[in-house]
Structures are given as C-alpha cells and as structure tokens.
Amino acid sequence: MSEYLLEMQGIVKAFSGVKALDGIDLVVRAGECVGLCGENGAGKSTLMKVLSAVYPHGTWEGRILWDGEPLCARDIRETEAAGIVIIHQELMLVPHLSVAENIFLGNEITGPGGLLNYAAMYQRAAELMAELKMPEVNVALPVSQYGGGHQQLIEIAKALNKKARLLILDEPTSSLTKAETAILLDIILALKKKGVACVMISHKLDEIAAVCDTISVIRDGTHVATRPMGELSVDQIITLMVGREIKNLYPREEHAIGEVIFEARNITCHDIDNPARKKVDNISFQLRRGEILGVAGLVGAGRTELAMAIFGCYPGRYEATVLLDGRVLQIDSPQAAVQAGVCLVPEDRKRHGIVPLLGVGYNITLSVLQRFSKYGVIDPSAEMQTIEQMIQRMHIKTATPLLAIQGLSGGNQQKAVLAKMLLPQPRVLILDEPTRGVDVGAKYEIYKLMMALVKDGMSIIMISSELPEVLGVSDRVLVIGEGQLRGDFVNAGLTQETVMAAAIGKAEALAA
Amino acid sequence: MQSIARSIQQIFSRYKILALLLAIVAIWSFFTWQSEGSFLTARNFANLLRQMAITGMLASGMVFVIIAGEIDLSVGSLLGLLGGVAAVLDASFHLPVALNFAIVLGLGLLLGLFNGYWVAYLRVPSFIVGLAGMLIFRGILLAVTKGSTISVESENFVAFGQSYLPVTAGYVLGVAIFVLQGVLMLRGRANRQRYQLAVPPLWQEAVKLVVIGLIIAGFVEALNSYEGIPLPVLLMLAILGGFSFLARHTVFGRRIYAVGSNLEATRLSGVNTRLVKMALFGVMGLMCALAGLTNTARMAAGSPSSGNMGELDAIASCFIGGTSMRGGSGTVLGALIGALIMASLDNGMSMLSVESYWQMIVKGSILLLAVWVDVMSGSSER
C-alpha cells in the first residue's frame, strides 16, 4: 500500500509544440484536500484534464500512480471507474431532468429489459441528499427548480454516487452566493472525514485556507511549491503565483492625459441562471481623455460583464448609467453605443468578433458601411480605398482583401476586428483581452496602436488577464474581484503582487 | 483514382452552378428521350418557364431568408391569399388593375413585415411564425373567397399573366443583356487587377462569355419561335438581375450575408440586425404578392387552394441551388436554377403521365440527395 492515493510525476503536456505543462508533480493522500493555485493560464485546468483522462494516456508524458499502481486511462469512463471524478466549473446538469435522473445519468439503475428502476434511484438519491445535508430537496423535481448552490451540490451527489475517492473541484464556488459557498465548504470538510480526497482549484485563497491541508502552486506550467497550508501566508502565496519578470515587451510612450470625459455609474449585472447573484455589483469609475485604463481581475470576476453592460449587450438583467462629456447616454444596444462613440472589441473573437464567411475587407467595413453608400448602394471603389488604408495601417497580412477572414491567423483576425471598431472613430474604445491567442509580434503592434490612439485623444479601457500586460500598458488600473471594485490604482510603482492581492481580496492585509 | 474523384469533387464544390447545369442537361435529355422529342419543343419550353416563374419568384425571396439563417413556411398560403384578394378586388369591386396591384403589393409587404416583426422583435422562431402564418393566411383566404374559385374579369389583369413580349423586343433585350454581361465582365477584370487580385486568363472569360451568349441566344430564339418571352418570365429575370445586384452591391445585401454568417458579431459591430431580419421578411412578402398576382392572372381566377405546398417548392429550390443550411452563403441565380430543376421534373413527369404520387416521391428524393451532396462537400472542407 502506497503512502499516497495519487502521485503524478513529471507530467508534460504540449499543444502544437507549446508546453502547457512542463514536468509537474502532484501528490494527494487519502482524505487529504489539496488546494491548487496559480494565475490564469498557469496550467491548473490542463493538469486536471490530464488526470481525469480528458487528454487520454499517451497524449502526454510522465506517470500517474493511483493507489501505487500505474494508471493508463484512455477516457473519462476509466478514471471514473477508478474513483476519480471531476466537477467542472460550468455545471453539467440537464435542467429539465429530475434531480434523481441527473444523479444517475449514464449510470442508471435498471430492472429486467433495461427498464428504469425509479424506486431504487429515488431512494438512493434521497439518501445522498440527506448525506449532503439537504434533505429538503425533492429528488423527483427537475433540477431547474433549484438554484445554483443546490445544483453544485447535486453535481457532488452525482460524483459521490460514482463512489468517488478523489474529487476534483474546478472553481466550485464561482457561481455561488456567500451562503451557498459556506454550505459547500462544510460538505467538503465532511467528505474529508469519510476519507474522500479532494483537489480544489480556486482563486479564492480564503476558501482554500478554510478546507485545504496542503497547497500546491504552479506557474507557467511548472511546479513552484507544495507546502502544508499553515506554513504559507497569503502574501507568500501571491508572490509564488506571480513571481515573473515583466519583460520589456511594452512600448510605453508619453502621452497627455486630459479631463474626465467618460463615467460609468452604478453598474450592476445579475447572473442569468442565478439572479440572486450579482456578477457585477455596483461598480462606478471615471475615464480621462487620452487615458489607458487597465481592468485586472481573475477569470469570472465580472470584467467582461462590466464591458457588455457599458456596450449595451449584457444578455441578462442589468442597471447601468453611462455618461460621456457629462451627458447621460441612452445605450440600449451595440448600435446605440457605436453611434454614441463607444466601441467594444469583444473577448471571444470567433463568436463575437469575426463574420467568418465574409472577406477581411468586408469585415472591416461592416460597422460603417453606410458611409460608402448612396441610397443603400455601395460605392465599391470608395469602400476598397478605406479597406486598403486600414489593412496597411494595421499591418494585416492577407493575400487579398476579399479572402474570407476565417482563413487568417488569430493575430490578423484580431487586427481586422480592431480596424472594424476604429472606423466609427469612437471616443472610448473598450478592448476585452485584446491580445488573447495572438502571437508576440502582433501583440507588440497592438500595443503600439493603442499608444498612437491615446496620443490622438482617444480613451481606452483594456480588460486583461495578463498582469504584466496590464502593468506594462495602463495609466491607471482598476481591480475587480467577485463583481466588486477592489482597487483603483495609478500605475506608478504598482506591482503584480499588489494587484493580485486586491483581486483576491487581501488588499487590507497587504497594506498593513 | 481517388485523386481524380477528389479533383472532380473540388471542381463541383467550387463551381456549384456547373453541377446544376449538368443536372438540367441530364434531366432534359431523359425527358426528351422518353417523350420522343415533345419535351424539348418551343411550346413546352415556354410552358415550363411560365410554370417555373411563380416558384422562382418565391425562391428569389426565400434564398435571402435562408442565407440570413431563417425560414418562411407561410409563403404558399400568403401567395394564395394575396392572389385571392386581387381576384376579389377585381371581380367584386371592379378596381382599376393598377390600383388593384398597388394594394396587393402593399398588403404583401405589410404581411411580410408582420411575419418579420414576430421573428426579429418578438423572438418567436421563424419556423413557428411560418407554420402559424401558413394556417392563418390560408384560413383568411378561405373566408375571403368563401371557399369558391373567383374568376377575374379585367382583361388587363389576365394579360399580366398570359401575354408575351413582342419578338423584336425579345431580340433587342437578348442583345442588350449580352452586351451588359460583357461590360460587367471587363469592369470586374479591371477592378480585380486594380486590387492585385488573381484574374482568370482572358480565354477562360471569353469562353464563359460565349457560353452565356449561346444560352441567351438559345433562350430568346426558342421562346421567339413560339410566341415570344412570356411576361412572368421577363419579370422573374428582372428580379434575378435586381436581387443579384442587391446581394452584391448594397448595404442591405451585405448585411444579410453578415447576419447569416455570424449574427452576434454583426450585432456587436453596431448593425441593427433585427431591422435587417424584419426587412428581409418584408421583401419575402413582396415576392409573395408578385407571385400571387402572376398566379391569379395565369389562371384568370383566384382559387382557395392556390399556392398549396408552394413554400416547399421554394425552399427545395434554394437548397438544390446550393444555398447553405448553415446560413451565410447562397445566390439568387442558384435558387432559380434550383426552381428550374423542380419545374422540369414537374413538367416532364406530367408529360409522361407519371402518377402524381411518383412525382412527389421523385421530387422529395432529389431534395434529399441535393442537400446530402451539400453536407458532404461542406464537411470535407472543414
């Protein structure tokens, strides 16, 4: 019998030559809860996907020992049979099926002839609900009757029903209210006592501190440290998480910053699935002429929702008051926002940025097509002239302006989307993760462009998950955490540690 | 062997029109052989085109609806209703034909916009809006006509569906279209060269132009050797020209393709996508009005059953003509060639006195096959 329930040794996982994981070790004892920490993109989720065989054995290097035996699983079914169950960040329940049906989905209790044995399933489901301290749940009702917190616990019931010995929780509290979070943490403690081990990925260090015995920090795909929980202070954890040098990638140029031109007041966005929860909670801020305002925060903090509310496209219920030059703007649609002088380059390029079948040029002019038209008929040479200018200015590499944009590289697509949102000549430009999935060269060009734009008096709000980028480009930095404004810093001598501490919610601790 | 098959597949997926023309040649050859020549006479050709005109008008509107990622199942009933209203206005109220047509066209536009409002602003799926409209419009038609066929009395009305363009005018028109094609081709070449785009060799374009010339000449000659170009066919060709222009050279056309390819990205670019969708259905309603008027004029009567299953023919024409089911791509020309294929099957099989149940089975199978080919060629690209 091995000392450890799970040993992962020297795990290397590469995506088309780029190493996402570079020799990671992780060990878990039975009944132990390990907190896995790291920045956005450090490799936490990738590691868990290797463990649960979302990436099957053979697509990565290294060794996994389970109960001292090598584990070579080819798919999730095999790891689940072994007792490793992963609960993803987004809930994977079928809303219209009952609680019991969800718990037994793919694992049904059947009688002769494949008929479902509902009595047995209801009984077992009710037992599980009692075990998880929520006997009030009626297992015959559809899952959609219950809120986000209950749903998360139903996911856990589903995992327990599979006789889980190791539970992997990926950001389990990201869609929960405070009260719901407390219940969940209690249950994790109770499970530990029964000998169920647990790996918890979370950005919220206080939650990790509450339930975990050990903390493992990874950074850029490598293992940084594993220590007993008590040995590390919050600042030490943060230093371990970021501890990266800012390389000289950022063409910071002097530019004049003028008066306040834009103001967002009391922006609140309600979660679509769980309206009791606020994704953005009463955030207000100001923006000056020629200023680059960086918006930092962890994934899911509410930054994208904030941008969507300003741009008039948040899909759920929201309240927002937006002022430009002291006048309240009536923004109820992206169309109104663009007309009012506010443009957004969205985070998800494929879904919200490009129109894949249209040519590169036609993507660029989509926002201002009326400009080249008389009585609705487009003047092709006027349009082509603008397209050529933009392609040159943005250094977009394309064989012809008519090539369908889906054939271009990510960097060139991003530049085309940027060009599209520059043509309306906005006063305020919101960039949501402007350099995601973009190569280093194109990144540099995008930063250069931002500098040129603010010199011309445009104001930019840049949302980014890359701290070095935020600190390298911004004049001022807003930090958002769990939907709230956690900090508003002038970017002079600002460190990654300060920003990260504010994002996690330990600003006071650090300041003291 | 496999590489030959692949390159043939590539040629067809690039020049879908070519495959469709080949299909037409095959279908016509078959019917000509089976009917011992009577399929390919000038008289039957004129008849075939007149049959096709109505489906063609519907398909011209439908192709934009499908490109934008929607569907409209109500067009058959709407055609019937508008044709019926026109007949009633003529027979019971004796309105002048011009006024009558204006009212019906306006009504078509309004009802189309009504459908579009439900889809775009009230966010009811277009499939359901169409299904509801199919019942509602047919119901109103039955009420308006009281279930009986209403004869049209005005001669001018009937002439709209049954007269022909004079022979000389037909020749002039043919030459004009040919010259226009030549000019457009040269201008297109010049434009592409200006922007350093690849230009096909001149001989290839010349061959293309000669083929187009031959098709126009054959078309005009065949119709003129009967009685001339039928007015509804002329109207359909005008729609083809106008809508092709709309698709390529107008803001509205560009937005239709953008909405169909990625609705969210288009909306976030500041385009009023709802308005685009509603307008689209308005155009569809207008096409229903034209088709309804043509139908009533051709039969010299408004019947409570006219336009039955018209939506299916129109939708099938679009898909056979290479319109993508995923939205974002398709052409009016393709849809009209699709309509020609459907009409050829109808006409040929009726001529051979094939039982009507067989006609349905054959048409259904062709639709299934055509879409399967589209799916196959689409998936191999991805």
pLDDT tens digits for range A271-314 = 887 788 889 999 999 999 999 999 998 877 889 999 999 999 99
pLDDT recorded at residue A366: 94
Nearest by CB to B269, which of A388, A401, A420? A420
Neighbours of A256 (CB within 10 A): 11
- On the question of pLDDT at A171 being above 90, the answer is no
Taking CB atoms and an 8 Å cutoff, what residues of chain A touch B268?
A: 311, 313, 334, 344, 346, 352-353
CB pair distance less than 8 Å for B257 and A357: yes
**Alpha-carbon gap, residue B227 to B167, rounded angstroms:** 7
Mutate one of A313, A351, A355 to test the B interface: name it (highest B CB count within 10 A): A355
Do the Cβ atoms of A349 and A410 come closer than 8 Å?
Answer: yes
Q: Which chain B residue has its CA at the smallest distance from A352's CA?
A: B265
Taking CB atoms and an 8 Å cutoff, what residues of chain A touch B262?
A: 351, 354-356
- Alpha-carbon gap: B67 to the closest alpha carbon of chain A (Å): 12
**What mean pLDDT is predicted for residues A317-336?**
93
Distances (CA, A) of A50 to A21, A59, A67: 10, 9, 17
Average per-residue pLDDT in chain A? 87
- On the question of pLDDT at A100 being above 70, the answer is yes
The complex's ipTM?
A: 0.84
CB pair distance less than 8 Å for A333 and B272: yes
Please tell me which residue, B227 or B80, carries the higher pLDDT value: B80
pLDDT recorded at residue A80: 86
pLDDT confidence tier of residue A1, bands split at 50, 70 and 90: low
- On the question of pLDDT at A150 being above 50, the answer is yes
Mutate one of A357, A372, A374, A422 to test the B interface: name it (highest B CB count within 10 A): A357
pLDDT recorded at residue B325: 84
Do the Cβ atoms of A405 and A358 come closer than 8 Å?
Answer: yes
Distances (CA, A) of A169 to A159, A162, A199: 11, 15, 6
DSSP A257-268: --SEEEEEEEEE
- Restricting to B residues 238-267, those with a Cβ less than 8 Å away from any Cβ of A are 249-252, 254-255, 257-258, 261-262, 264-267
Q: Considering the domain A6-242 in this protein, what is its CATH number?
A: 3.40.50.300
pLDDT confidence tier of residue A350, bands split at 50, 70 and 90: confident
Nearest by CB to A355, which of B191, B266, B270? B266
Nearest by CB to B249, which of A333, A367, A378? A378
pLDDT recorded at residue A512: 37
Give the CATH fold of the A248-341+426-512 domain.
Rossmann fold (3.40.50)
**What mean pLDDT is predicted for residues B315-340?**
91
* Percent of chain A clearing pLDDT 70 (strictly above): 96
- On the question of pLDDT at A182 being above 90, the answer is no
**Alpha-carbon gap, residue B345 to B343, rounded angstroms:** 5
Taking CB atoms and an 8 Å cutoff, what residues of chain B touch A311?
A: 268
Handedness of CA A326, A327, A330, A336 (dihedral sign): negative
Nearest by CB to A366, which of B249, B258, B272? B258
* Percent of chain A clearing pLDDT 90 (strictly above): 38
- Alpha-carbon gap: A331 to the closest alpha carbon of chain B (Å): 12
Domain-wise residue ranges, chain B: 17-163+230-376
Nearest by CB to B328, which of A343, A357, A366? A357
- On the question of pLDDT at A240 being above 90, the answer is no
Q: How many beta-carbon pairs below 8 A join chains A and B? A: 87
**What mean pLDDT is predicted for residues A400-410?**
85
Greatest mean pLDDT among A10-24, A201-215, B231-245 lies in B231-245
Domain-wise residue ranges, chain A: 6-242, 248-341+426-512, 354-425
Taking CB atoms and an 8 Å cutoff, what residues of chain B touch A358?
A: 254, 257-258, 261
pLDDT tens digits for range A366-377 = 999 999 998 999
pLDDT tens digits for range B169-222 = 999 999 999 999 899 888 888 877 776 667 778 888 888 899 889 989 988 988
Please tell me which residue, B337 or A252, carries the higher pLDDT value: B337
Q: Does this chain's domain A6-242 share its CATH topology with A248-341+426-512?
A: yes
Q: Which chain A residue has its CA at the smallest distance from B326's CA?
A: A357
pLDDT confidence tier of residue B378, bands split at 50, 70 and 90: low
Taking CB atoms and an 8 Å cutoff, what residues of chain B touch A351?
A: 262, 264-265
A143, with CB counted inside 10 A (0-12, 13-18, 19+), is: buried
Domain B17-163+230-376 in CATH 1.10.10? The answer is: no
pLDDT recorded at residue A398: 85
Greatest mean pLDDT among A122-131, B97-106, B194-203 lies in B97-106
CB pair distance less than 8 Å for A353 and B265: yes
Q: What is the pTM of this model?
A: 0.81
pLDDT recorded at residue B11: 63
State phi, psi for B163 to the nearest 5 degrees.
-90, 175
Mutate one of A343, A348, A358, A402 to test the B interface: name it (highest B CB count within 10 A): A358
Q: How many helices (DSSP H) and strands (DSSP E) are in chain A?
A: 17, 22
pLDDT tens digits for range B23-36 = 899 999 999 999 88
- Alpha-carbon gap: A353 to the closest alpha carbon of chain B (Å): 5
pLDDT tens digits for range A429-478 = 999 999 887 777 788 889 999 999 999 999 999 999 888 889 989 999 99
Return the beta strands (E) in chain B as ranges: 150-151, 301-302
Q: How do strand A166-170 and strand A197-201 relate by DSSP bridges?
A: parallel
Taking CB atoms and an 8 Å cutoff, what residues of chain A touch B255?
A: 369
**Alpha-carbon gap, residue B264 to A352, rounded angstroms:** 6
Please tell me which residue, A511 or A498, carries the higher pLDDT value: A498
CB pair distance less than 8 Å for A335 and B270: yes
**What mean pLDDT is predicted for residues A361-367?**
95
